[in-house]
Structure 1
Amino acid sequence: MKKYILALSLCTALFTACDPTVEEEGAIAASLTADQLAQRVSITQTTAGQNKFTFETNPTVPVQVLDQDGNILSSGSSGSIIGTPPLTGLVVRAINQDGSITSFTKEVTVNEYVDVPAIYKQLFGPEYTSRTWVWDTEATDGVWGNGGYMSNSGPGWWVIQATDLDQQAIDKGYADDTIDKGWMRFTLGGKKAEMSRGETGTISWDLSAVAKEGWDIGTLSFAGTTPLLGVQPNDNNSKEYNYHILITDENHLRLCAPEAGAGEGGTAWFWNFKAKE
């Protein structure tokens, strides 16, 4: 008798789960439209003008909240959101039972950014707009050179001072990357990278990709261009697009790229930049 009741209960559950007209707590109907989703989700700006928000769903439904560029900021049926600059809109999306995605966008106005990762101010300046970088001619360990991977924090073996950098750049075919001519400008909108040599590309970063705790804070990658004198000298001056961001202050940018196959203590190249005043 108990087996019969159990089988009947399972059958009922299966029919219920397969019926698209039945909407369970935390589920979403197959026919939900963008307008219906918007009616179920409320977004509140925690403090007027700031980049902090909360969201709630009623009836409950699991959603993802993204910024206008598609970066996921939060997920669940309720929660908090901290947007990074530039934040102009919040996109809420949910997956339907038929596998389709329903979404809507809420435009937001942000005048003050709080609790933003320091990398934004470092790369793009305190106004989160754009910043120009030049060679750090004041660095005590030179502007460029090589050293031990994950052991040196700048050039340590072959150290190129500012007075010797120009010849290195010219010999490698980068006459516009010299001390006086060289600059690179990072712009937050579009994450654009403009170079003194006339190239334009983009940058991206990953603060979770730390090579060694206490040595670096993640990676900085270039697409379409490279930083000043961004080459691997022992590999026929091949272009280098991926770098470790070494720990430094917000007005200086130290980059490192290991040679292929280098382990800790192996050969790596270092670049020392500073923000242009």
Structure 2
Amino acid sequence: MKKSLILAIFAVFVLLSACQPVEIRQELKGGITESELNISAVPQIRDGKNSNYIDLNSDGNACLSSWDFGVGLFVGTKGTVKVMMKGPNDIIFTGLNADGTKITKTLTVQVDALYDVEPEWALFCGATGEKTWEWDNVTGPGVWGNGGFKGCAAPCWWVVSLGDINGQAPGEGAGASMTFTIAGARLIKNFNDGTTVQGSFTFDMSKIILDDGGNVWAKGKLNTKNVTVLCGKSPNEGGAPVNSYDILKLTENNMVLSYPEPGVGSWGTAWFWMFKKK
């Protein structure tokens, strides 16, 4: 009897054990290496020349794909991007493996002809892809200040001279500058104590503003991220940083920017910045 009871208990234990799910955990390991990548960046041929339209392809690689082409980031295995400079252009590929590891590879493409490139890239960044701007203390009596929105084309009410800028923005007066680069669409603020801060910029030349007479007052918009232009603040908003500027003038040698205080109409308070090519 005792033996039969033991056998019965054992049988129940076996049945219960068989009903429990068995979980086998498998750790995902491994990933491809740079040497195993099969990727390409090939300029499209236009008029017999390597154009600035670049065909990217990473099909068949066991990783997620992203491409840094200088002025933007493309995510995907196949697509076409547009670069903004003649000469050698670096395309940086980053692959994300299933195990979380990353692999990078730089492909250099030669561009011999530019198509559909906004001329403002060359005005902001110069023919070499990098251009430095400083305060324009030559054109007018001041380099920063306020005036009338859609009325003034430079500071015309409260006008601040170059010598007084450090009092408004320490390190951003005489001797300070800012550098625009095509690579990475970077904006670098160079303080006059030798330090720098870096961010990025974009522009939109469709953001035109007309004055009350129907004439173009602003020809576009400059936007910055993680950095402002020199003395890029709004005093009547507690010195808040300004990251969006109306472009009043942009030539090879001169740049005039403006920022209207929120909600103002014609001749309301706007702030003005005067710069020249260094």
TM-score with structure 1 setting the length: 0.60
- Could you say what secondary structure the match of 2:230 adopts? coil
Letter in 2 for 1:54: D
Give, in whole Å, the separation in 1 of the partners of 2:250 and 2:33.
Answer: 45
Letter in 2 for 1:45: P
Asked if the contact 1:121–1:250 (Cα under 8 Å) also holds between the matched residues in 2, the reply is no
Does residue 206 of structure 1 match 2:202? yes
Shift, 1:55, TM fit? 4.0
1:108 is matched with which residue?
108
Shift, 1:246, TM fit? 0.5
- Judging changes above 3 Å, is the alpha-carbon distance between structure 1 residues 55 and 136 closer, same or farther for their aligned structure 2 residues? same
Give, in whole Å, the separation in 1 of the partners of 2:138 and 2:110.
Answer: 37
Give, in whole Å, the separation in 2 of the partners of 1:123 and 1:80.
Answer: 24
Deviations 1:160-198 (A, max 9, x none): 3xxx61464365364861xxx344130526622213354
Structure having the higher strand fraction is 2
Give, in whole Å, the separation in 2 of the partners of 1:129 and 1:136.
Answer: 22
Give, in whole Å, the separation in 2 of the partners of 1:175 and 1:43.
Answer: 42
* CA RMSD between the two structures: 4.5
Give, in whole Å, the separation in 2 of the partners of 1:166 and 1:184.
Answer: 12
1:46 is matched with which residue?
44
Alignment of 1:1-277 (within 5 A): 38-39=37-38, 42-47=40-45, 51-55=52-56, 66-67=67-68, 71-73=72-74, 79-84=79-84, 87-91=89-93, 105-110=105-110, 112=112, 114-115=114-115, 116-135=117-136, 137-139=138-140, 143-149=143-149, 151-152=150-151, 154-155=153-154, 157-158=156-157, 160=159, 165-166=161-162, 168-169=164-165, 171-172=167-168, 174=170, 177=173, 181-186=174-179, 188=181, 191=186, 192-208=188-204, 212=208, 215-221=218-224, 223=226, 226-235=228-237, 238=239, 240-251=241-252, 252-259=254-261, 261-265=262-266, 266-276=268-278
Give, in whole Å, the separation in 2 of the partners of 1:144 and 1:217.
Answer: 19
Long gaps (5+) in structure 1: 1-30
Query: Sequence identity, in percent?
Result: 17
Q: Which has the larger radius of gyration?
A: 2
Shift, 1:35, TM fit? 7.7
Asked if the contact 1:64–1:72 (Cα under 8 Å) also holds between the matched residues in 2, the reply is no
Shift, 1:256, TM fit? 1.8
- Judging changes above 3 Å, is the alpha-carbon distance between structure 1 residues 255 and 101 closer, same or farther for their aligned structure 2 residues? farther
TM-score with structure 2 setting the length: 0.60
- Could you say what secondary structure the match of 2:161 adopts? helix
Shift, 1:42, TM fit? 4.6
Give, in whole Å, the separation in 2 of the partners of 1:34 and 1:175.
Answer: 46
Long gaps (5+) in structure 2: 1-29, 210-215
Shift, 1:275, TM fit? 0.8
Asked if the contact 1:202–1:223 (Cα under 8 Å) also holds between the matched residues in 2, the reply is yes
